[in-house]
Amino acid sequence: MKVSEEFLVKADEKAFDLGHRKTINFNIGRYNTAVERGLSKFENLENSKKKAHVIKWRVMENLDKYLPEFESNFQRRGGKVIWATDAQEAQKEILNIINKSGGKTVIKSKSMTTEEIHLNEFLGEHGIESLESDLGEYIVQLLGQHPYHIVTPAMHLSKEDIAKLFHEKFGTPLDYTPEQLTHKARELLREKYLSADIGISGGNFLIADTGSIALTENEGNARLCTTFPKIHIAIVGIEKVIPSMADLDLFWPLLASHGTGQNLTVYNTILSGPKRGDETDGPEEMYVILLDNGRTNLLAQKEQRQGLYCIRCGACLNACPVYKNIGGHTYNTTYSGPIGSIITPHLKGMKEFKHLSYASSLCGKCSEVCPVKIDIHKMLLLNRRDAARQHENTKTEEIGWKIWKIGMLKRKRMDGFSGKIKNFFLKFMFKKIWGKYRNMPEVAPKSFAKLWEERNKDTKNL
Q: How far apart are CA 438 and CA 321, in angstroms?
A: 18
Instruction: Kindly report the backbone phi and psi dihedral angles of residue 201, in degrees, each rounded to the nearest multiple of 5, phi listed first.
Output: -140, 175
Give pLDDT, residue 273. 95
User: What is the 8-class DSSP label of residue 444?
Assistant: P
Give pLDDT, residue 405. 84
One digit per residue, pLDDT tens: the chain, 462 residues?
789 889 988 998 999 899 999 999 999 999 999 999 999 999 999 999 999 999 999 999 999 999 999 999 999 999 999 999 999 999 999 999 999 999 999 999 999 999 999 999 999 999 999 999 999 999 999 999 999 999 999 999 999 999 999 999 999 999 999 999 999 999 999 999 999 999 999 999 999 999 999 999 999 999 999 999 999 999 999 999 999 999 999 999 999 999 999 999 999 999 999 998 888 889 999 999 999 999 999 999 999 999 999 999 999 999 999 999 999 999 999 999 999 999 999 999 998 999 999 999 999 999 999 999 999 999 999 999 999 888 887 787 788 788 778 878 887 777 766 777 778 877 777 777 777 777 888 888 887 877 888 888 766 655
Q: How far apart are CA 182 and CA 284, in angstroms?
A: 31
Give pLDDT, residue 459. 64
What residue ranges do the domains of the chain occupy? Answer: 1-40+313-393, 47-293, 395-461
3-state secondary structure of 321: helix
3-state secondary structure of 206: strand
Burial code (b: 16+ CB inside 10 Å, e: under 16) for 379-400 equals bbebbbebbeeeebbeeeeeeb
Q: How far apart are CA 226 and CA 215, in angstroms?
A: 10
pLDDT digit string, tens, across residues 276-321:
888 888 999 999 999 999 999 999 999 999 999 999 999 999 999 9
Burial code (b: 16+ CB inside 10 Å, e: under 16) for 92-112 equals ebbbebbeeeebebbbbbbbb
- What is the CB neighbour count within 10 angstroms for residue 319? 24
pLDDT digit string, tens, across residues 104-113:
999 999 999 9
Which residues does 354 contact at the CB level (< 8 Å), separation at least 6?
Answer: 4, 345, 383, 384, 387, 392, 393
Of 359, 325, 335, the C-alpha closest to 20 is 325
What CATH number does the domain located at 47-293 have? 3.40.50.10420
3-state secondary structure of 236: strand
Which stretches of 202-295 are assigned E, i.e. beta strand?
A: 205-207, 212-217, 231-237, 241-242, 267-271, 285-291
Q: How far apart are CA 160 and CA 168, in angstroms?
A: 12
Which residues does 25 contact at the CB level (< 8 Å), separation at least 6?
Answer: 324
